[in-house]
Chain A
């Protein structure tokens, strides 16, 4: 029972065409910023940080940066981007007058958001490899993880977008949800350094399992706990994906 059809690809293609027409207007930011963070935190702050197992700090944060910026890509695309297309450009109104349904449009938006995550994650992975921070061929799976992660964050973002009254509402989304996740999901500090309560909480925020996965794939230290992480991502994705189709139908098909 899939509630959308293959026609979602038409929306994905539309967004792809626009992105490659205008890529120079936003792509550099999404590549320059993670490199900046990697260098500043990894080399600058890293000089003062000693990790228990003697790992270099820049090595520790690289897989987290991949996961975090893949999250940002899908989140921006499916909040500001989607809202802009929906409310200001009325693009969706035009599309649902063609054989596409609301569900096709939203699935197209989500898969496009996930594609942005895939692109961002892959570019940072290549840069990290150039810095010699990648030590395992398992890292080749990271783009796939970023895509799955992208579907998850795009779905959560779309759900919020479907109830957002104005574009300013996204300030809440980023300051209260996305930014805390950036700091409390093990990107910059091992979760073990937080008090127990924060550790527990960090396991229910969706970026944490992704960081676990990317970190393991970069180092090649695989363990069974990763299946839990993967399972958690899949469950969260399914729930938010389905919900977002319902709430978007409510907003658009009135």
Chain B
């Protein structure tokens, strides 16, 4: 059964359409990725699913219940790790966790046990009595993660969880996310990091201008939109038009990236080699989720 389901979910901010008719089914225990450029509506979608923002239109069910009728119950089993740091700067690291546990009505002894455990899990034991302003950016993010897990959530919602983390801390988070997989925790991951989405997510939704453009397992999306490998031709201004004409006449699937042309769904470069004069470089590499992302949401800046 889907743990979260949405139907025709829509959100207007005055006359701006932020989320446009989104129908989603997130399965229990999966890691669900939400990918999209800034302003695609990911955070707004998350805010509606976490019962913080009321939808303009449409419905949300959590464990089969209408979210409108069970928002406290639903929020009690969710852990939200926001993109922006909203740790409580008036409190110490340990008090942040204890105070947050109290919002969930977790008894004091249990809260203390979990706080100690989470601090050690995220390597923050030494910072137990520090003020928030004394923490580095990476430490704050780790504390946000610890805080989001204080209620041992069944659904964990992470908005850019590894943004600004060094590689060591990033792998710590990835490792923890994989562990949660074994515990059957459902994870919703908003990210710009394509590698992260590929490594962690069972399914990925590509979101753009408020709509879900496509939704599938990362490898399925990659083979659908790019094939297994991508050829890149570096072009100069004079040669470009000619090459494009040639690519079109050969019925190849390609994108114009300005100084480069990207050719998809090719198994060998036989059909390209005669195209490229000595001045133009040809290289190939494995296709990634980033190719899917660009093909679906375009190469230009959205904002």
Contacts and interface: CB of A to CB of B under 8 A. Distances in A.
The interface centre, meaning the residue of B86, B95, B105 with most chain A CB atoms within 10 A of its CB, is B86
Nearest to B77: A99
Given A18-B91, A89-B89, A96 B52 contact: yes
Given A17-B95, A99-B103, A253-B54, A94 B88 contact: yes
Contacts of A95: 103
Contacts of A14: 88, 99, 102
Interface string B67-82: 0000111011010101
A179 interface: no
Interface of B: 13, 50, 52-54, 71-73, 75-76, 78, 80, 82, 84-91, 95, 99-100, 102-105, 151
Contact of B104 (A21, A89, A99, A101): A99
Given A93-B82, A93-B86, A97-B75, A253 B103 contact: no
Main secondary structure of the interface of B (DSSP, over half): loop
The interface centre, meaning the residue of A13, A14, A91, A98 with most chain B CB atoms within 10 A of its CB, is A98
A10 interface: yes
Interface string A231-253: 00000000000000000000001
21 contacts: A10-B105, A13-B99, A13-B102, A14-B88, A17-B95, A18-B90, A18-B91, A89-B88, A89-B89, A91-B86, A93-B52, A93-B86, A94-B82, A95-B103, A97-B80, A97-B82, A98-B151, A99-B75, A99-B104, A101-B71, A254-B13
Contacts of B104: 98-99
A90 interface: yes
Interface string A73-108: 000000000000000011101111111110000000
B90 A89 contact: yes
Contacts of B151: 98
A110 B84 CA distance: 26
A7 B103 CA distance: 8
A98 B103 contact: yes
A89 B103 CA distance: 17
Contacts of B91: 17-18, 21
Given A18-B90, A97-B52, 5 more contacts: A90-B86, A94-B88, A97-B82, A98-B100, A99-B76
